[in-house]
Structure 1
Amino acid sequence: MSEPNATRRTFLQTTAAAAGTLAATAYVSGDEAKKSPKDKLRIAVIGCGGRGGSNLKGVSSEEIVALCDVNQQNLSRAKDAHPKARTVIDYRHLYDNADDFDAVVVSTPEHTHAFATLPALQLGKHVYCEKPLTHSVYEARVIREAAVKAGVATQMGTQIHAGDNYRRAVEIVHSGAIGPVRECHVWVDRAWGRQSKADAERNNDRVYAEERPTTADPIPEGLNWDLWLGPAPYRPFNNVYFPGSKWYRWWDFGNGTMSDLGSHWIDLAFWALKLESPLTIEASGPPPHAEIAPASMQVKYEYGARGDMPAVDVHWYQGDNKPKIWTDGKIPQWRSGVLFVGDNGMLLSDYGKHMILLDQKVQEFQRPEPFIPKSLGHHAEWIHAAKTGAPTTCNFEYAGWLTEANHLGNVAYRTGKKLEWDAAAMKATNAPEADQFIRREYRDGWSLT
């Protein structure tokens, strides 16, 4: 790993002074040009609790015409706020009468994202879907390709992407201010996953489980457990899955921290380095468990050259794992961060601030003038795009590649091999055993078509 000179000069830059006042760009074409931006977008919301409740508030400036949730308590609260909206428990039936809405917001658990999203795209509806976009590599490919065919406004819910800090960090990399970037390190301190009971307590992890429960807890009143399971393998209800986001550490429902926080933190690396598909993926960590994602692990991605950008290695660390340059104390020990290592210096960023670390040989750092337009807001950006045809920055083309890459980190971890990835064939050419993690079988009665 490249290391900064001990006598380097350090510049702390926060985004507050450099937010800029650029307006969002837009283009208008086709039938969308006939709509006035003042017209209300008719929206159906699938998933109304937790993140779904937040997303519902984020789009409530528009006309909420339909609400869907497998939990009657969530549905009732959303109905109280939007009494004119029709309600549905099974989102598959929502699409039986799709003429009354133009757009869909999907905030279900990860394992049903693709199933709730694909029908909307096939019907030509605009879609906002929470991160991660899908539960698997295969599903990400299906959704990305369906979005291209649909030609509608899409946005994955990585809300931090709309912040000014990420924009300023991306501009620094794109302008070459720290020189060509050949390695990048992304780490998060969250340690939710399979761990000892002592580690769970140390990490303030309120949910401790090492194996799939064999006993059933009473199903909460108003919850349709069978619909909540959706395409996942059946098992009795247990409190280790629900309520809240406890499900996300179980492979059948989520993909742990890698796909959850990776959607937010690797997003910055993906955007700044113009990434799509890696050439190889290699992971390490504790022995893989059949049921539960790990608390701590790390992944190395190798990407080829992209345009005028050189080949780059992107490293991911979660939980107890950190970059060596961090553990050696040679950079500020932020709990979570993204470090771009360029030929002329380094850029360290988190959600709200970034820092430039220059080599001694560099006499002066020249910050580029802001050139990435200020976001209207993550939800507002999508609404504006649906009304006018303007682009979104986390559309399903971009988000599909990001989601695939994040899932591939887990595929490499679960396979225990350095994967040689053929993106066109969607195959790890040296590891046929990876196929089961790239695309899974669905429960009877469920198919992604």
Structure 2
Amino acid sequence: MAIQSSANRPARRSVTRRKFLGASVAATTLGWTAPAILRGRNLNEKLNIAVIGSGGRGASNMRSLESENIVAVCDVNENNLEFAARRHPRARKAIDFRKLFDHANEFDAVAVSTCEHTHAFATLPALQLGKHVYCEKPLTHNVWEARVIREAANKAKVATQMGTQIHAGDNYRRVVELVQSGAIGPVREAHVWVGRAWGRQSKADAQKARDIVFVQERPKESQPVPPQLNWDLWLGPAPKRPFHEVYFPGPKWYRWWDFGNGTMSDLGSHWIDLPFWALKLQVPLTIEAGGPSPHEEIAPASMQVKYEYGARGDMPPVEVHWYQGANKPKILQEKGIPQWGSGVLFVGDKGMLLSNYARHTLLPTEKFADFKRPDPFIPKSRGHHAEWVHACKTGAPTTCNFEYAGWLTEANHLGNVAFRVGEKLEWDAVSLQAKNAPDAERFIHREYRKGWKLG
């Protein structure tokens, strides 16, 4: 079903950018309001959770939530389903998550860890039914879906969390505190790079980039569907195509546009999260990307993106640069900065701050030899999953709620849109349109296969 109809796309609203962003900032900083019945609930009482997607990340998420009651498990791969059922023999089993919602009265919350192209389809009905939702990153498959899910979450007023587990780490907190306390002065540019490269490349380059698939084109031949897999349900809303081992099992599907978005939206969820948080980012004004010629089927292994953001409160306009694969910031060599395999570099008026997942350092080192760090002001996380469970029971805020994660996901997807269009996008977040590039429309949302509808 096409989604261009007014019933399936956000309505064009007469809202100024200032009002639009102001309302969103307010939503980001607040928790959901727990109903009276839940506020009186015993915090030791366990949640009833439905797990949708129980292999790979799903298995890990399920294990992290086993302090609660896992009452339903769902997976299109019977091997994954049986693995989950053995751990939770009393749980309801399902292959099609749409049918699981016929039994929504049996669970309070849903953990979604399906393939990226079905995230929104498993998440939206849960929100509409008033269920708390934990969803793996990236939150959705495209920009339009991210907007739909963010708005649905705000309307549902439930506890939500996107699975960017590194967001719960102490290192990110300390970096955010340094940036926001002015340790390196106003930040006018930030660089984010990852050494991983999932996409269209040669076998030699793929092996060097630790990619398990080296493919240049869509296979013409089909292969037998593995007996444990429901291929039709795995495809979900994506266009029908014959089975081939280059798509399954995960993470092979990451690099195919129909199912994933390559490195940008996957690892960008983790790495761009840091400047997004520290610099209070939300909506880019422009997005420009470069790399190899875009391929209709497969995401690029290497590419780079430049985002321009306007001023935010007392923070000046800032450029955020993304590099993946073979690309790295030139400033690393020019300034003699340690070339970590992946990292984030904040460039301020008074210095620089280099970080990765586990550590960070202020530069130049000699300038900050006697620097006194600010007292920590971001509370320690009880754990990414535990934070969500606690929020489900109390109404406390989560730090990667769908309001925050929705904007982060939109921005990451827009990097891919700019790459595929081949133009610098002038972005109008209110209307969900690139004002100067009408061709971007086909990448902002997609047509869904017959039998699949979002909304």
TM-score range, shorter chain: over 0.9
Residues 297 and 319 of structure 1 are in contact (CA less than 8 Å); yes or no, is this contact kept in structure 2?
Answer: yes
The yes-or-no answer on 1:251 pairing with 2:260 is no
The yes-or-no answer on 1:60 pairing with 2:61 is no
Alignment of 1:333-372 (within 5 A): 333-358=339-364, 364-372=370-378
Q: Aligned-pair distance for 1:42?
A: 0.3
Q: Which residue does 1:16 correspond to in 2?
A: none
Q: Aligned-pair distance for 1:30?
A: 3.0
The yes-or-no answer on 1:86 pairing with 2:92 is yes
Residues 129 and 156 of structure 1 are in contact (CA less than 8 Å); yes or no, is this contact kept in structure 2?
Answer: yes
Residue 105 of structure 2 aligns to a residue whose secondary structure is: coil
C-alpha distance after superposition, 1:222-245 (max 9, x if no partner): 100000000001100000000121
Return the alpha-carbon distance in structure 1 between the equivalents of residues 308 and 150 of structure 2: 22
- The correspondence for 2:109, drawn from 103, 110, 131, is 103
Give the root-mean-square deviation of aligned CA atoms: 1.5
The yes-or-no answer on 1:224 pairing with 2:230 is yes
The yes-or-no answer on 1:30 pairing with 2:35 is yes
C-alpha distance after superposition, 1:351-400 (max 9, x if no partner): 00000014877785231100100001000000000000000000000000
Residues 196 and 210 of structure 2 are in contact (CA less than 8 Å); yes or no, is this contact kept in structure 1?
Answer: no
- The correspondence for 1:437, drawn from 428, 433, 443, is 443
Residues 70 and 228 of structure 1 are in contact (CA less than 8 Å); yes or no, is this contact kept in structure 2?
Answer: yes
Return the alpha-carbon distance in structure 1 between the equivalents of residues 146 and 114 of structure 2: 16
Q: Aligned-pair distance for 1:328?
A: 3.6
Q: In structure 2, what residue type is equivalent to 1:109?
A: C
Q: In structure 2, what residue type is equivalent to 1:427?
A: Q
Q: Which residue does 1:19 correspond to in 2?
A: none
Q: In structure 2, what residue type is equivalent to 1:86?
A: R
Return the alpha-carbon distance in structure 1 between the equivalents of residues 254 and 32 of structure 2: 38
Residue 420 of structure 1 aligns to a residue whose secondary structure is: strand
Residues 64 and 85 of structure 1 are in contact (CA less than 8 Å); yes or no, is this contact kept in structure 2?
Answer: yes
Q: Which residue does 1:162 correspond to in 2?
A: 168
Q: Aligned-pair distance for 1:29?
A: 4.5
Residues 340 and 348 of structure 1 are in contact (CA less than 8 Å); yes or no, is this contact kept in structure 2?
Answer: yes
Distance change >3 Å, CA 138–CA 107, structure 1 → 2? same
Return the alpha-carbon distance in structure 2 between the equivalents of residues 92 and 29 of structure 1: 26
The yes-or-no answer on 1:206 pairing with 2:212 is yes
Q: Aligned-pair distance for 1:34?
A: 1.5
- The correspondence for 2:315, drawn from 293, 296, 309, is 309
Residues 69 and 89 of structure 1 are in contact (CA less than 8 Å); yes or no, is this contact kept in structure 2?
Answer: yes
Q: Aligned-pair distance for 1:344?
A: 0.5
Residue 106 of structure 2 aligns to a residue whose secondary structure is: coil
Distance change >3 Å, CA 273–CA 123, structure 1 → 2? same
Residues 162 and 400 of structure 2 are in contact (CA less than 8 Å); yes or no, is this contact kept in structure 1?
Answer: yes
Return the alpha-carbon distance in structure 1 between the equivalents of residues 435 and 260 of structure 2: 25
- The correspondence for 1:193, drawn from 176, 199, 203, is 199
Residue 171 of structure 1 aligns to a residue whose secondary structure is: helix
Residues 344 and 362 of structure 1 are in contact (CA less than 8 Å); yes or no, is this contact kept in structure 2?
Answer: no
Residues 287 and 306 of structure 2 are in contact (CA less than 8 Å); yes or no, is this contact kept in structure 1?
Answer: yes
Q: Aligned-pair distance for 1:147?
A: 0.1
Q: Which residue does 2:248 correspond to in 1?
A: 242
Return the alpha-carbon distance in structure 2 between the equivalents of residues 362 and 59 of structure 1: 42
* Runs of 4+ with >4 A deviation: 25-29, 359-364
- The correspondence for 2:137, drawn from 110, 113, 131, is 131
Q: Aligned-pair distance for 1:298?
A: 0.2
Q: Aligned-pair distance for 1:150?
A: 0.1
Q: Aligned-pair distance for 1:36?
A: 1.6
- The correspondence for 1:146, drawn from 143, 152, 165, is 152
Percent identical across equivalent pairs?
72
Return the alpha-carbon distance in structure 2 between the equivalents of residues 326 and 226 of structure 1: 47
Q: In structure 2, what residue type is equivalent to 1:30?
A: P
Residues 285 and 309 of structure 2 are in contact (CA less than 8 Å); yes or no, is this contact kept in structure 1?
Answer: yes
Return the alpha-carbon distance in structure 1 between the equivalents of residues 234 and 252 of structure 2: 13
Q: Which residue does 1:266 correspond to in 2?
A: 272
Q: How many residues align?
A: 425
Return the alpha-carbon distance in structure 2 between the equivalents of residues 327 and 89 of structure 1: 51
Residues 173 and 272 of structure 1 are in contact (CA less than 8 Å); yes or no, is this contact kept in structure 2?
Answer: yes
Q: In structure 1, what residue type is equivalent to 2:261?
A: N
Residues 126 and 133 of structure 2 are in contact (CA less than 8 Å); yes or no, is this contact kept in structure 1?
Answer: yes
Q: Which residue does 1:18 correspond to in 2?
A: none
Q: Aligned-pair distance for 1:333?
A: 0.6
Residue 73 of structure 1 aligns to a residue whose secondary structure is: helix
Return the alpha-carbon distance in structure 2 between the equivalents of residues 442 and 27 of structure 1: 32
Q: Which residue does 1:399 correspond to in 2?
A: 405
Q: Which residue does 2:122 correspond to in 1?
A: 116
Distance change >3 Å, CA 323–CA 257, structure 1 → 2? same
Return the alpha-carbon distance in structure 1 between the equivalents of residues 367 and 45 of structure 2: 56
Distance change >3 Å, CA 218–CA 29, structure 1 → 2? closer
Q: Which residue does 1:15 correspond to in 2?
A: none
Return the alpha-carbon distance in structure 2 between the equivalents of residues 47 and 194 of structure 1: 27
Q: Which residue does 2:54 correspond to in 1?
A: 48
Residue 98 of structure 1 aligns to a residue whose secondary structure is: helix
Return the alpha-carbon distance in structure 2 between the equivalents of residues 205 and 138 of structure 1: 29
Distance change >3 Å, CA 369–CA 198, structure 1 → 2? same
TM-score normalised by structure 2 residue count: 0.91
Q: Aligned-pair distance for 1:348?
A: 0.4
- The correspondence for 1:447, drawn from 422, 436, 453, is 453
Residues 344 and 358 of structure 1 are in contact (CA less than 8 Å); yes or no, is this contact kept in structure 2?
Answer: no
Q: Which residue does 1:415 correspond to in 2?
A: 421
